[in-house]
Amino acid sequence: MAERVEEATERVEESMDRRVARILQGDPRSISRAITSVECCDSASRELLRKLFPHTGRAKIIGITGAGGSGKSTLVDGLISSLRQKGKTVGVLALDPTSPFTGGAILGDRIRMHSQTQEVGMINTTTAY
């Protein structure tokens, strides 16, 4: 019985290591799944973050905020274009305020930035709060 538990533990660790490797290689599907895992407080998310943490710290973070219609999406789209032209990898994490008044508008923003999100080196994901 102890051997089976040890084998299962090794398989889980190997699976986690493969998942981390795919994330570090920039695999969009793996990155999206990792974000969802962390958002949902999946039991494996703590271990995933622990393994990814040593590889962090080199990103530049830019926050964009403003009223509806103020040009946030246009600005972000321009920033993405400029950074991608310089060969930079870009990740966009859009926070969608699920307001009973406005309903949020991230879907429209993602459609407007669709041309950018099809590129290699560009990740665009949305989360509601």
Is the whole model's pTM more than 0.95, yes or no?
A: no
Q: Distance (Å, rounded) from C-alpha 83 to C-alpha 106?
A: 21
Q: How does DSSP classify residue 26?
A: T
Condensed to tens digits (0 to 9), the pLDDT of residues 65-100 reads 887 778 888 888 888 889 888 988 888 877 766 655
- CB 41: neighbour CB atoms within 10 A? 8
Residue 18: its H or E element: helix 2-24
Condensed to tens digits (0 to 9), the pLDDT of residues 1-38 reads 666 655 555 555 678 899 999 999 988 889 888 988 88
